[in-house]
Amino acid sequence: MSDDALLVAAARSPVARLATIAASGAVDLVPITFALTASTIVTAVDHKPKKTRRLRRLDNIAREPRVTVLIDHYDDDWASLLWVRLRGRAVVVDDGPRFDGAIAQLVAKYPNHYAAIAPEGPVIQIDITDVRIWRSS
């Protein structure tokens, strides 16, 4: 499978992990729903239960916009293992055309979860600067 085909497969994955850098320098890692295009990744604060809508990842990005997203596939058949690591610069978007476009992408990818209750945001938009792909075969 070509790298382009692997990116297309990774885009269909239901979950990824977002790493941001905390004020202490530690890495904060959280699972995210996401939509991936050729040059960007978007995710949003949605209606899943949270203590606050002002999440640590948003504060981390405001201070240090460099982030990493990992999309992986595990299988008991280790010949099927793969991961895609995407690095980029993130920005938090609260409204406007970029916000609306990101929400539309997420609703299209996750209709069972977001068609009835679309994410209210904010949105994290990541402009991809580096792509690494690993596969076992």
**Domain residue spans of the chain:** 3-135
Global pTM value: 0.91
Q: Which long-range contacts (CB under 8 A, 24 or more apart) does 115-122 make?
A: 117/46, 117/47, 119/44, 119/45, 119/46, 119/47, 120/44, 120/45, 120/46, 120/47, 120/53, 121/44, 121/45, 121/93, 121/94, 121/95, 122/44, 122/45, 122/58, 122/92, 122/93, 122/94
Q: How confident is the model at residue 50 (pLDDT cuts 50, 70, 90)?
A: low
Fold (topology level) of 3-135? Pnp Oxidase; Chain A (2.30.110)
Q: Tens of pLDDT along 57-111?
A: 999 999 999 999 999 988 898 988 889 999 999 999 999 999 999 999 999 999 9
